[in-house]
């Protein structure tokens, strides 16, 4: 008898629950959404849009920084290539002038002296060009590091906010 009473009570509870679920399922369009839930959803959507806009802005800024860095490296590479060509032309010109100067020497001793002067000038000119190229490369690299650091700090700052 106790078992039968429990079974009847459980069936009654289940029937009521089924009816409630069927009532919700039968008329979902007429079920009113509370205004607080709508406001919460709207605020969440606006917050997500704002977060996405901030992330997009940070990404665009990082991309611009990377573009600036790449452009600087490409410009420096082109500048170094131009300098190398100019150095090669200068070396060829110096060599041809030295040949004329050495051949115009009145004696062997003077020719050797002129050859020695040419070698010294040639070495000094190439050393100066190499030092200048290294200084430019160092400056570009340092600027690149500063740009990367600034972009990383800006990105980290935007992520912390």
The answer as to whether 31 is a domain residue is no
What integer is the mean pLDDT of 96-118? 89
Binned at pLDDT 50, 70 and 90, residue 11 comes out as confident
Q: Which of 155, 41, 33 is nearest to 49 (CA)?
A: 41
The answer as to whether 103 is a domain residue is yes
Q: Tokens 């600027």 sit at which residue? A: 143
Range of the domain at 142: 57-161
The answer as to whether 104 is a domain residue is yes
Domain count, the chain: 1
Three-state DSSP at 33 gives coil
**pTM for this prediction:** 0.50
The answer as to whether 2 is a domain residue is no
What integer is the mean pLDDT of 138-159? 75
User: Measured between alpha carbons, how far is 109 from 113 in angstroms, rounded to an integer?
Assistant: 6
144 pLDDT above the threshold of 90 = no
Please return the burial class of 159, using the count of CB atoms within 10 Å of its CB with bins 0-12, 13-18 and 19+. exposed
What integer is the mean pLDDT of 37-66? 77
Query: Residue 34 has what DSSP assignment?
Result: P
112 pLDDT above the threshold of 80 = yes
The answer as to whether 100 is a domain residue is yes
What integer is the mean pLDDT of 10-20? 71
The answer as to whether 28 is a domain residue is no
Q: What is the pLDDT of residue 146?
A: 82
Q: Which of 160, 147, 142, 161 is nearest to 61 (CA)?
A: 147
The answer as to whether 30 is a domain residue is no
The answer as to whether 17 is a domain residue is no
């Amino acid at each position: 008898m106790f078992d039968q009473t429990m079974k009847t009570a459980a069936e009654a509870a289940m029937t009521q629950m089924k009816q409630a679920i069927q009532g919700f399922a039968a008329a979902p369009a007429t079920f009113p959404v509370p205004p607080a839930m709508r406001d919460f959803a709207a605020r969440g959507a606006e917050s997500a849009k704002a977060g996405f806009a901030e992330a997009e802005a940070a990404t665009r800024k990082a991309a611009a920084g990377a573009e600036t860095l790449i452009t600087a490296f490409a410009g420096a590479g082109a500048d170094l290539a131009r300098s190398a060509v100019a150095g090669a032309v200068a070396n060829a010109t110096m060599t041809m002038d030295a040949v004329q100067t050495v051949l115009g020497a009145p004696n062997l001793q003077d020719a050797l002296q002129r050859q020695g002067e040419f070698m010294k000038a040639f070495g000094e000119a190439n050393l100066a060009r190499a030092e200048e190229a290294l200084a430019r490369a160092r400056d570009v690299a340092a600027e690149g590091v500063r740009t990367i650091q600034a972009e990383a700090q800006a990105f980290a700052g935007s992520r912390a906010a």
